[in-house]
Chains A and B, each alone.
Chain A
Amino acid sequence: DAGITQSPRHKVTETGTPVTLRCHQTENHRYMYWYRQDPGHGLRLIHYSYGVKDTDKGEVSDGYSVSRSKTEDFLLTLESATSSQTSVYFCAISESGPQHFGDGTRLSIL
């Protein structure tokens, strides 16, 4: 498996609190992605990065921000978490085409 580590793996927090999820890769891949997975919706792209400090929005970016200060790290931040952001979050990396996924972060917002 590709070297992708997501942290934390599980988190429970309260509405209105800030939350940061981390994705760390050891593959030196150019592209990194954040998805959320919800029943009936498949995977939906939140944000992606095509290089250090180069990021762009996906289809469900509202309420989320990202940062990539190093090739290996891609952070996803929920500035003020809402219950609708309860989901499983997956990070993925890619050099050209096929993506490799991390193990996911299960986030519950009460």
Chain B
Amino acid sequence: AQSVSQHNHHVILSEAASLELGCNYSYGGTVNLFWYVQYPGQHLQLLLKYFSGDPLVKGIKGFEAEFIKSKFSFNLRKPSVQWSDTAEYFCAAWGYQKVTFGTGTKLQVIP
């Protein structure tokens, strides 16, 4: 069975700090990977996706993620966070018609 692990449950950063959120997956076949963001009181929105090709994926709002197959990782990065990035971030893996989500990382950005 596929699984997704997010090791950071709660991250607090000051504005302009750099961000890296960890995501590791366990899956036996070809895997498609995603990062979603959920702002308070809202539904999940897709930040970026990886299907194949260039392992460095750029998404919306200045986010990017790097797929490292040897480490089974798909970490999310942003060079300089803003207060408006305060949200919960979910890593997810898609395979066999289903998507498996990590437990999420809450990011709090302090002005």
Query: Is B43 on the interface with A (CB-CB < 8 A)?
Result: yes
The range of chain A's interface size is 20 to 34
Besides A44-B101, A101-B43, 8 new A-B residue pairs in contact (Cβ under 8 A), listed by A number: A42-B90, A43-B44, A45-B99, A48-B97, A90-B44, A97-B32, A97-B94, A99-B44
Expressed in whole angstroms, the Cα–Cα distance for A45 and B43 within the complex equals: 15
Q: Would A45 and B32 count as touching, CB distance under 8 A? A: no
A:58-110 near B, CB below 8 Å: 58, 90, 92, 94, 97-104
Q: Which 4 A-B pairs have the closest CB atoms?
A: A42-B103, A101-B43, A43-B101, A101-B44
Q: Would A42 and B101 count as touching, CB distance under 8 A? A: yes
Nearest residue in A to B9 (C-beta to C-beta)? A40
Chain A residues near B100 (CB-CB < 8 A):
45
